[in-house]
């Protein structure tokens, strides 16, 4: 806790994530990167979400890094409804109560910065999720404190958002998302109401922007964003995830079964199927996906679980039903994972040759880092934009279902065809080659003389100046 922390360091960094897995994960990985410069990092949140972030960290063990300090706070209890797999919109509306509950973090985080960190260091640097503006609104006014906004989505997404609200001007690169309908259709009203609260403070409280991205991935859109915010510093310092992930435990009893199974398969022979932590498939979608995977005759790992609840530690979980006898029929060719899967390690495995994904930004960055092409099936939010970046701009994937047909059922025939193209065709091999080339470029960029290492060094030099 904050009261027990003392340091003679000249700088302290505070991370303020939104309490959703994709956001918690990104700032926890960034904490690892910043702490590698011998800078103490203070990661803050509710007790539930701090524990969630720690348990689900993959590629490294945050508990073993002594320079990362966790600060857990209680917030008033709130109703945590179950995800609705039959909702017409896949956005996780059931998480909205936990988003609003973060408003209660404003005072304890202020106290942490004012009473303990600011008093013991020359400078406090606050890196906050750009959906947490309300929580950190007071911090920029404190002595020796600087705030930096973290953009949890791609620069491509950010620029296309501005592009749409400016009337869709014809500019280089914009043709890649001409067929996406209005961004207003990607988020429900409840989210826009929450965003309006955050926007009251946007631009007033931060000294610069950070992206979990890289110039070797989307330099065009990073440059366009720099022009939009002329004079405001920005850094693309991703990928945040480890490029050579390590398992948290070498204990074979704790090693995930999927990794043992992958070790017995041929290189690039397995497609990994997972739709992240905010998407639930209805029974009919599950059935069609199951049949399509079976008919494709390709090897697969399928993470079949509902979206996260506001509190992932509550016990009520929906047991998704598969066709009768399905798991017995496919046991030689595929496995079903119903709990948390080590996605980064699975993508990094040499046997994994494809990824059917919702195209959340974490998943996109991890897949690109590991050189795995994507079968893009966007569900909500930034995912339709990300899928365009993957399939049209980078050309390292193909589309399962166009966003314009999101109300239509994806049939088993569509699934079968997509999986066969990605895993067993010349076209799929070409995508895999481009994905592998991009991965190699990304890995080179974080070496000592790489462009991303220079970007990270530039950010650290700036905050320690």
Residues in the chain: 465
Catalytic-residue membership of 193: no
Beta strands in 5-152 (DSSP E): 11-16, 41-46, 68-73, 123-129, 145-151
Write out the DSSP string of 150-199.
EE-S-HHHHHHHHHHHTT----TTGGGGTTS--GGGTS-HHHHHHHHHHH
Q: Give the Cα separation of 461 and 208 in Å (integer).
A: 14
**Cβ atoms 352, 272 nearer than 8 A:** yes
Q: For the chain, what is the radius of gyration of the CA atoms?
A: 22
Q: Which tokens is 346 given?
A: 């699975």
Catalytic-residue membership of 230: no
Measured distance between the N- and C-terminal CA atoms of the chain, rounded to whole angstroms: 28
Q: Give the Cα separation of 211 and 459 in Å (integer).
A: 11
CA distances from 213 to 10, 369, 381, 425 (A): 28, 11, 18, 30
Q: Give the Cα separation of 238 and 25 in Å (integer).
A: 13
| CB burial string 271-294: b at 16+ within 10 A, e below | bbbbbbbbbbbeeebbbbbbbbbb
Residue of 69, 94, 129, 176 with catalytic role: 129
Burial group, residue 3, by CB count within 10 angstroms (0-12, 13-18, 19+): exposed
CA torsion through residues 428, 432, 434, 435, sign? positive
CA distances from 430 to 354, 374, 403 (A): 12, 12, 24
Return the residue matching tokens 């510093």. Answer: 233
Listed in sequence order, the residues at least 6 apart from 320 whose beta carbon sits closer than 8 Å to its beta carbon are 281, 283, 286, 304, 305, 306, 338
Say how many C-beta atoms besides its own lie within 10 A of residue 165's C-beta. Answer: 11
Listed in sequence order, the residues at least 6 apart from 368 whose beta carbon sits closer than 8 Å to its beta carbon are 217, 239, 394, 396, 435, 438, 439, 442
| Catalytic positions, written as ranges | 23, 129
């Amino acid at each position: 806790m904050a009261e027990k922390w003392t340091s003679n360091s000249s700088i302290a960094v505070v991370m303020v994530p939104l309490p959703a897995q994709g956001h918690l994960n990104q700032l926890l990985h960034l904490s690892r990167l910043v702490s590698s410069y011998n800078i103490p990092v203070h990661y803050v949140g509710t007790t539930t979400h701090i524990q969630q972030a720690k348990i689900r960290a993959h590629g490294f063990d945050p508990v073993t890094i002594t320079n990362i300090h966790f600060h857990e706070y209680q917030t008033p209890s709130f109703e945590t409804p179950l995800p609705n797999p039959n909702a017409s919109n896949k956005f996780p509306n059931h998480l909205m109560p936990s988003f609003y509950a973060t408003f209660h973090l404003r005072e304890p985080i202020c106290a942490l910065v004012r009473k303990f960190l600011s008093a013991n260091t020359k400078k406090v640097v606050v890196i906050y999720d750009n959906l947490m503006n309300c929580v950190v609104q007071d911090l920029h006014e404190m002595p020796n404190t600087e705030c930096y906004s973290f953009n949890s989505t791609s620069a491509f997404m950010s620029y296309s958002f501005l592009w749409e609200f400016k009337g869709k001007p014809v500019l280089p690169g914009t043709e890649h998302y001409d067929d996406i309908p209005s961004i207003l259709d990607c988020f429900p009203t409840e989210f826009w109401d929450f965003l309006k609260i955050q926007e009251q403070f946007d631009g007033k409280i931060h000294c610069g922007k950070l992206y979990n991205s890289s110039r070797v991935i989307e330099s065009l859109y990073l440059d366009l964003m720099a022009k939009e915010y002329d004079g405001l510093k920005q850094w693309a310092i991703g990928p945040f995830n480890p490029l050579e992930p390590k398992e948290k435990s070498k204990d074979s009893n704790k090693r995930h079964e999927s990794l043992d199974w992958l070790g017995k398969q041929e290189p690039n022979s397995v497609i990994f199927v997972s739709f992240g932590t905010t998407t639930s498939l209805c029974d009919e979608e599950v059935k069609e996906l199951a049949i399509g995977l079976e008919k494709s005759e390709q090897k697969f790992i399928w993470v079949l679980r509902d979206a996260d609840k506001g509190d992932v530690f509550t016990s009520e979980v929906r047991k998704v039903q598969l066709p009768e006898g399905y798991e017995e029929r496919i046991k030689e060719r595929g496995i079903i994972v119903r709990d948390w899967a080590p996605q980064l390690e699975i993508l990094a495995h040499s046997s994994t040759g494809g990824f059917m994904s919702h195209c959340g930004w974490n998943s996109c960055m991890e897949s690109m880092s590991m050189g795995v092409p994507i079968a893009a099936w966007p569900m909500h939010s930034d995912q339709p934009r990300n899928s365009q970046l993957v399939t049209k701009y980078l050309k390292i994937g193909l589309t399962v279902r166009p966003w314009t047909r999101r109300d239509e059922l994806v049939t088993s025939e569509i699934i079968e065809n997509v999986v066969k193209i990605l895993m067993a065709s010349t076209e799929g091999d070409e995508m895999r080659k481009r994905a592998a080339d991009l991965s190699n470029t990304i890995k080179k960029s974080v070496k000592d003389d790489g462009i991303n290492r220079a970007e990270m060094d530039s950010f650290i030099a700036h905050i320690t100046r």
